[in-house]
Amino acid sequence: MNGIIIIKYTQEGVMAVSYNRLWKLLIDRKMSKADLRKASGVAPNTMTKLRRDEEVTLTVLGKICSTLNVDYGDIMEYIDERDDEEHNPGRKGASCD
């Protein structure tokens, strides 16, 4: 599950978000994760949550977007695990079990 966190489990399936776009953006801008943390004022434990693919608040994402002058879609991507399973049958995805 590199770069994917589970944000909600519904009867319809698992919804997840990938922060790979954020990490790629930092590479393109030659900015370290530590530089982003300091510039955005995000707490070290929150950056750890991002690196560990754990939930963070929209407030945190807003600080990051403001610092990088980007929109939410530039740093994260919605992944519908149901669609992924339909396109890749048999692939083991994220689960809440």
Is 0.85 surpassed by the pTM of this model?
Answer: no
Tell me if 18 sits within 8 A of 79, measured CB to CB: yes
Q: Give the pLDDT confidence of 15-67 residue by residue, as tens digits.
A: 677 889 999 999 999 999 999 999 999 999 999 988 877 778 999 999 999 99
Per-residue pLDDT at 12 exceeds 70: no
Burial of residue 9, with CB atoms counted within 10 A of its CB: 0-12 exposed, 13-18 middle, 19 or more buried: middle
Tell me if 96 sits within 8 A of 9, measured CB to CB: yes
How far apart, in Å, are the Cα atoms of 88 and each of 68, 82, 84, 93? 34, 10, 6, 10
